[in-house]
Amino acid sequence: MQEVVSECDFIDRVWRARRGRLPTSLREDFCGTAKASTEWVRRRATNTAIGVDLDSSVIRWGERRHRSNLPGTMASRITILEANVLEVETPGVDTVVAMNFSYFIFKDRATLVRYFRRVFEALADDGIFICDAYGGSQAHAEQEEERSLDGFTYVWDQNQYNPITGDVVNHIHFRFPDGSELKRAFTYRWRLWSLPEIQDALREAGFARATVYWEGTDHRSGTGNGVFRPSTRGEACEGWIAYIAAEKSVPRAARARRSGGR
């Protein structure tokens, strides 16, 4: 489930660390209801957002539920485009985000690289693309995972996995205390891309650096602690979620450090 406050916090943290400033302009690809865009313009009066999605019905729902409820002139700082992320043309932005594993919809490498190239072109010269990924040994298992929420049970159903193609079919169901169930409220037909595959595709698309942010561990519970830090080594977890930050360019000082000052 999308946690847009945490996502926007992470965007700001990456920018402080990598660029020494906060970003202002954001493009939310596969935006759906544009919840992240809405949170983004709430953060600072200078922030603007562009949301891109193909599904007009979801866009309209988000307009009623999120954008129309923004106070003052905040809504005027969001632009929603019903368009294909592979084709859309937008002004240069500081950050493009693709969250909830949405770009996993691209099942072949050529299309994935094509998408990343379009993102690269949409970024300002010092722009950063941020996306998430998931995996782990349990990501390949055909199983259901339940989570009790306020008044209902959320069910993540890993319905199919094809080890030859890497394709997965996942459903979300909702179960209620009266015994009723909303089956297949959402269905996702993805390819389960690995972190090395994603990083390689980003570099081929032109990005100067692609950094994985790995989640730390809560030592009392043994589960993730919600803190993501740059890392080149992860644990062989049953399940993990990570962020990738891909920089269009690397500042000269960072290049010098990487080359040992030569």
pLDDT tens digits, one per residue of 25-57? 999 999 999 999 999 999 999 999 999 999 999
Is 181 in the same domain as 198?
no
For residues 249 and 142, state if they share a domain: no
* CATH number of the domain that residue 209 is part of: 3.40.50.150
Q: How confident is the model at residue 1 (pLDDT cuts 50, 70, 90)?
A: low
Non-local (6+) Cβ contacts of 64 within 8 A are: none
Q: For the segment 119-160, what is each residue's pLDDT rounded down to a tens digit? A: 999 999 999 999 999 999 999 999 999 999 999 999 999 999
Does an H or E element contain 153, and which? strand 152-161
Q: Are residues 148 and 131 in the same domain?
A: no
CB of 68 closer than 8 Å to CB of 78: no
Regarding whether 35 and 17 lie in a shared domain, the answer is yes
Question: Which residues is 147 bridged to in the sheet?
Answer: 154
- Judge whether residue 262 has pLDDT over 80: no
Q: Residue 215 belongs to what domain range?
A: 4-135+193-258
> Cα separation of 209 and 247, whole Å?
5
Q: Determine the pLDDT at residue 5.
A: 96
Q: What's the CA dihedral at 54, 154, 36, 117 to 10 degrees?
A: -50
Q: Phi and psi for 106 in degrees, rounded to 5? A: -85, 115
How do residues 192-243 score in pLDDT, each as one tens digit?
999 999 999 999 999 999 999 999 877 777 677 888 999 999 888 899 999 9
Same domain, 70 and 185: no
Same domain, 108 and 152: no
What pLDDT, in 10s, does the model give residues 170-199?
A: 999 999 999 999 999 999 999 999 999 999
Last-in-domain residue among 174, 189, 204: 189
Q: How many domains does the chain have?
A: 2
Q: Are residues 116 and 144 in the same domain?
A: no
- In a shared domain, residues 35 and 108: yes
Q: Say yes or no to pLDDT of 256 above 80.
A: no
Q: 38 and 147 in one domain?
A: no
Residues 97 and 75 in one domain: yes
Choose one of 189, 211, 232: the last residue of a domain: 189
